[in-house]
Amino acid sequence: MLYYLFKYLQEAYNLTGAGVFQYISFRAGIAVITALLISAVLGKKIIEILRRKQMKETVRDLGLQGQLEKQGTPTMGGLIIIAAILIPTLLFTKVFNIYVLLMLLVTVWMGAIGFLDDYIKTFKGNKEGLPGKFKVFGQVALGLIVSIVFYCHEDVVVRQEFSDHIKNQIKTEKNVNSVMVKNESGGEQLMFDTKAPITTIPFFKNNEFNYGTLISWITEDYMKWSFIVFIPIVIFIITAVSNGANITDGLDGLATGNSAIIVATLAIFAYVSGNVVFSQYLNIMYIPNAGELVVFSAAFIGACAGFLWYNAYPAQVFMGDTGSLTIGGIIAVLAIMIRKELLLPVLCGVFLIENLSVIIQVGYFKYTKKKFGEGIRIFKMAPLHHHYQKLGFHETKIVTRFWLVGVLLAALTILTLKLR
């Protein structure tokens, strides 16, 4: 809201310094600081409230080092992250930007699902929490809303030069509007805004991919029916990444630190994709209005950094499903918005390997039990971070090394801007 206030003050009264709020970089910087301060200051009060309300984690004895010491630690600390994201976002972004509105919806929606799960576990004494089918229903419903808005809203477009490659991808003039823009040298250049569901394939030249082409073998008018492919893909990504973050949240600071690294990387992509000069220089899709996602991402990073003040080993509070489902949903939708969702297997490699370790462990155990009458485990325990605990590694060493892996994956993801 402050963006609109200072814009008005500049235009109406020519207030000195008010124009600084027009810059995304300034608003992103102040959003980081504000979110960090909110999570650090408000976090202490929320932790005290959670203790008074007996919102404490019940820890099962799995024979892990230091596990029983965490018994009684407050949970639902994700409320700290959510508050520290929402307040700076409302203050410093163009709130009525469609991308910002969607991110606010995702944050509140996934936070509500996680809150219900934690509430049932703690207040109702049901260790299973919210039944899985209701979690999935909530994730599917969110994916449906996000994909429909993406497909239908007039402000969700991609602006590109009209090359033969793009022409073959689009196939129809119905989803394309021409626009004349100034290029880097000051001249004018004919560009095209398209609402086609286009994404980016990493490591390839001419790497724009239209989801509609997946059904081009069914009909020549496949662009008209591309939503049949696009909607399920969006739903799958949101469900997979949010659950991946949820599974990764098993050690103090593990999910929080990796999520901050992932969103920092996506913020870089959002900045260059939302800037016409950088997008032309890097030869990537220009996404009008996507620059506001940098401010939201900055608030997310600040919120995670502030939460780590209390969540670092030994944790004073756990984020619970309130936080883990929320950060996973945010990462998924943010990547979809900037058309980089196909990079998630690389960027979210830590989430992916944690998920795969559970799938492999359970699948192989069931297979060997059926075949040999006795189940065999590949890992000492799943998810993977518990496997290393069983091997005798200290929790802080595991978390730090997983963070380092996250940084390496983030660097590789950024390199895809030039590696094609």
- Asked if 198 and 169 count as a contact pair (C-beta separation under 8 A), the reply is yes
d(CA 9, CA 25): 20
pLDDT at 283: 83
Query: Which has more confidence, 56 or 45?
Result: 45
If you compute the radius of gyration of the chain from its CA atoms, what whole number of angstroms results? Answer: 23
Residue type at 355?
N
d(CA 117, CA 126): 9
pLDDT at 60: 63
pLDDT, tens digit, 9 for 90 and up, residues 261-300: 999 999 999 999 999 888 888 888 899 999 999 999 999 9
pLDDT, tens digit, 9 for 90 and up, residues 371-418: 888 889 999 998 999 999 989 899 999 999 999 999 999 999 999 988
d(CA 354, CA 344): 14
Q: Compute how many other C-beta atoms are within 10 angstroms of the C-beta atom of residue 13.
A: 9
pLDDT band at 173 (very low <50, low <70, confident <90, very high): very low
d(CA 332, CA 235): 10
pLDDT at 198: 87
**Residue carrying the six token digits 């950060």:** 327
Query: Which has more confidence, 206 or 320?
Result: 320
pLDDT band at 128 (very low <50, low <70, confident <90, very high): confident
d(CA 396, CA 266): 26
Residue of 139, 145, 81 lying closest to 113 (CA atoms)? 139
**Residue carrying the six token digits 């999935």:** 136
pLDDT at 57: 65
Residue 384 tokens read as 């993977």
Residue 328 Cα distances to 61, 207, 253, 258, 279, angstroms: 27, 26, 15, 11, 27
Residue of 415, 212, 234, 217 lying closest to 342 (CA atoms)? 234
| Angle, helix 292-311 to helix 78-92, in steps of 10 degrees | 150
Residue of 128, 97, 117 lying closest to 4 (CA atoms)? 97
pTM score: 0.91
pLDDT at 406: 97
Q: What sign results for the dihedral spanned by CA atoms 269, 272, 276, 279? A: negative
Cis ω for the linkage preceding 383 (within 30 of 0) = yes
- Asked if 310 and 77 count as a contact pair (C-beta separation under 8 A), the reply is yes
**Residue carrying the six token digits 């724009």:** 208
Residue 228, φ and ψ in degrees, nearest 5: -60, -35
The residue count of the chain comes to: 420
- Asked if 156 and 196 count as a contact pair (C-beta separation under 8 A), the reply is no
The DSSP secondary structure of 10-39, one letter per residue, reads HHHH--TTGGGGG-HHHHHHHHHHHHHHHH
Beta-strand ranges (E) seen in 137-271 are 158-161, 176-182, 188-194, 198-200, 208-210
| Residue ranges of domains in the chain | 26-155+228-345
Helix (H) or strand (E) holding 209: strand 208-210
d(CA 29, CA 101): 20
